[in-house]
Amino acid sequence: MIAFDYARPRTLAGALKASADRPGARFMAGGTNLLDLMKLGIERPEAIVDVSALDLRRIEALEEGGLRIGALVTNAELAAHPLVRTLYPMLSRALLAGASGQLRNQATTAGNLLQRTRCYFFYDPASPCNKREPGSGCSAIGGFNRIMAVLGTSDECIASHPSDMAVAMRALDALVETRRADGSTRCIGLDRLYRLPGETPHLEHSLLPGEMIVSVRLPPPPPGRQTYRKVRDRASYAFALVSVAAVVHVFDGRIASARLAFGGVGTMPWRDAAAEAALIGAAPTSESFERAADVVLAGAKGHGGNDFKIPLLRRTLTACLKQITEDQR
Ligand SMILES: Cc1cc2nc3c(=O)[nH]c(=O)nc-3n(C[C@H](O)[C@H](O)[C@H](O)COP(=O)(O)OP(=O)(O)OC[C@H]3O[C@@H](n4cnc5c(N)ncnc54)[C@H](O)[C@@H]3O)c2cc1C
């Protein structure tokens, strides 16, 4: 491991100052992703600001409806919270489908959102990777690419985003609340938090240096039934090949509202407004579900080894839509 400075402040102001004082410092929460990457020499921060002692571990019901989730709430705590289980069951399911019990006890809400790709070549310092070393090339394009993305890719990078939780949160219109040492705050929707790889795959999110996620806000849950379905190589302890988060409300025999988000297939947690619009007003039939799948997949591009994700996404989406509309008809 390469030497780095380490601080574990007790207050938010202290953590923000410690980060502002050291350009190149990184926040560390549960450390389950950042430390692994540091051990491999892929992340090389000069300084670590360990935020795990901060008082950011509460889940509060908001007066206007919805929840505020502290950045340090663990994945296990969030999945088990009674309000999450009753109001946002898809989020509970997504969290419980991720990693393992031990990891979920350590992994945090903010860390989960900002975890980095599991692309094999990103993890292998001997292989070219534009995300790890800009300009070096992409070993996944034309190489072994079974787990890579089919949506939102570029000629520079096809790495998929690994988070399950973020997929459910995208469907739920979650917003991250941030703070910097100068007192400025921002509230950023997940659509604007994540960046597409384009020509700069090493830039993955829109946070500024020293900007810390302090909480995640969930608006009140949308009407309808929710689900999260994850398809993977093993029944547990495996990242998604394809996942679908769906909330659909059927009223009077027609789809009144729909939210669809996808994991394992996009370079960021993927949401498709056009596919949602294609469902609204339609009867909940296999024809309308197939039409929604056509819309999602219109821009999909396989790279050989991951071509199977395209029909797998269609089958997973249509099965989820059937399941959650069945008893609403
Ligand atoms: C074997 C294994 C299997 C896994 N399987 C899955 C899976 O199936 N599904 C899944 O979704 N995940 C899976 N994970 C990933 C796991 O969920 C993440 O490692 C974890 O959520 C990261 O959270 P953390 O708190 O440990 O983050 P850290 O490692 O502490 O940080 C991750 C990143 O977030 C940044 N960060 C942390 N907190 C803040 C903050 N408050 N503000 C700004 N930046 C911050 C850090 O600087 C770092 O860049 C797996 C991990 C392992 C090791």
Q: What is the pLDDT of residue 235?
A: 87
Report the separation in Å between the CA atom of 129 and the middle of ligand 1, taken as the mean of its atom positions: 21
Band of residue 91 on the pLDDT scale cut at 50, 70, 90: very high
Query: Does residue 32 have its Cβ closer than 6 Å to ligand 1?
Result: yes
Residue 130 has pLDDT above 90, yes or no: yes
Report the separation in Å between the CA atom of 32 and the middle of ligand 1, taken as the mean of its atom positions: 6
Query: Does residue 49 have its Cβ closer than 6 Å to ligand 1?
Result: no
Band of residue 25 on the pLDDT scale cut at 50, 70, 90: very high
Query: Does residue 30 have its Cβ closer than 6 Å to ligand 1?
Result: yes
Report the separation in Å between the CA atom of 139 and the middle of ligand 1, taken as the mean of its atom positions: 24
Query: Does residue 29 have its Cβ closer than 6 Å to ligand 1?
Result: yes
Q: What is the pLDDT of residue 2?
A: 85
Band of residue 1 on the pLDDT scale cut at 50, 70, 90: low
Query: Does residue 34 have its Cβ closer than 6 Å to ligand 1?
Result: yes
| Choice from 4, 16, 27, 68 to test ligand 1 binding pocket (greatest atom count within 8 A of CB) | 27
- Stretch among 111-120, 232-241, 308-317 having the lowest mean pLDDT: 232-241
Query: Does residue 51 have its Cβ closer than 6 Å to ligand 1?
Result: yes
Residue 42 has pLDDT above 90, yes or no: yes
Q: How far apart are CA 204 and CA 268, in angstroms?
A: 9
Contacts with 91 (C-beta within 8 Å, 6 or more apart), sequence order: 78, 79, 84, 165, 168, 169, 172, 218, 228
Report the separation in Å between the CA atom of 92 and the middle of ligand 1, taken as the mean of its atom positions: 17
Report the separation in Å between the CA atom of 308 and the middle of ligand 1, taken as the mean of its atom positions: 27
Cβ-in-10-Å burial (0-12, 13-18, 19+) of 227 comes to: buried
Report the separation in Å between the CA atom of 13 and the middle of ligand 1, taken as the mean of its atom positions: 23
> Can you tell me whether residue 215 is helix, strand or coil?
strand
Query: Does residue 110 have its Cβ closer than 6 Å to ligand 1?
Result: yes
Residue 164 CA, closest ligand 1 atom number: 11
Query: Does residue 31 have its Cβ closer than 6 Å to ligand 1?
Result: yes
What mean pLDDT do residues 97-103 have? 96
Q: How far apart are CA 78 and CA 205, in angstroms?
A: 23
Band of residue 228 on the pLDDT scale cut at 50, 70, 90: very high
Share of the chain above pLDDT 70, in %: 100
CA atoms within 13 A on the CB side of 299: 14
Query: Does residue 114 have its Cβ closer than 6 Å to ligand 1?
Result: yes
Instruction: Give the count of beta carbons closer than 10 Å to the beta carbon of residue 203.
Output: 13
What is the per-residue pLDDT across 48-58, written as a single tens digit (0 to 9) for each?
A: 999 999 999 99
What does the DSSP 8-state code read for residue 241? S
Q: Would you put residue 169 in left (φ > 0), alpha (ψ -120 to 50) or beta? A: alpha
Query: Does residue 33 have its Cβ closer than 6 Å to ligand 1?
Result: yes
Residue 37 CA, closest ligand 1 atom number: 29
Query: Does residue 27 have its Cβ closer than 6 Å to ligand 1?
Result: yes
Residue 139 has pLDDT above 70, yes or no: yes
Q: What is the pLDDT of residue 23?
A: 85
Which residue, by CA, sits nearest to atom 21 of ligand 1? 112
What is the per-residue pLDDT across 244-298, written as a single tens digit (0 to 9) for each?
A: 999 999 999 999 999 999 999 999 999 999 999 999 999 999 999 999 999 999 9
